[in-house]
Amino acid sequence: MKWKKKFGDLEKQEKAVQLKLKNEGASFVSNIHNVKTIMIKMLELQDEIGLSNDEVTIIVYTSLDLDWFNSMLVLASEFSKWFNLNFEGEDRDELDFQDDKLLIWQSIVHYSSLLLNSIL
């Protein structure tokens, strides 16, 4: 939230976040939104936003499209929720978001363990 607030009101915040998440001028430009490209983008913004490595990992991996898990594709709508919600209070949207992300994280960990166990 601190990162977004410096852009101004909600409308300005939304526009600034969209601009920051674009690939233009980035060291690595790609229109493919998979874990690799999103991770590169997030690592570019990590210090500016003030995120730890663990927080970046959670944002990226809880944005996966579980239908395309083996391709490691990220759902843009899930990814953008991290930046579109205001986490200032505990309204219903924020609580639902946290519950959904916890469920996604648990599903990804379980699904990953199934895949790894079947390979090994």
Higher pLDDT, 20 or 79: 79
Distances, alpha carbon 36 to alpha carbons 43, 49, 90, in Å: 11, 19, 32
Q: If we measure between CA atoms, which residue out of 71, 53, 66, 74 comes closest to residue 106?
A: 66
Q: Which of 120, 34, 118, 98 is nearest to 69 (CA)?
A: 34
Q: Domain extents for the chain?
A: 2-119
Q: What pLDDT is attached to residue 52?
A: 93
Tens-place pLDDT, residues 55-107: 898 888 888 888 887 788 888 888 888 887 777 666 788 888 888 888 888 88
Average pLDDT, the chain: 80
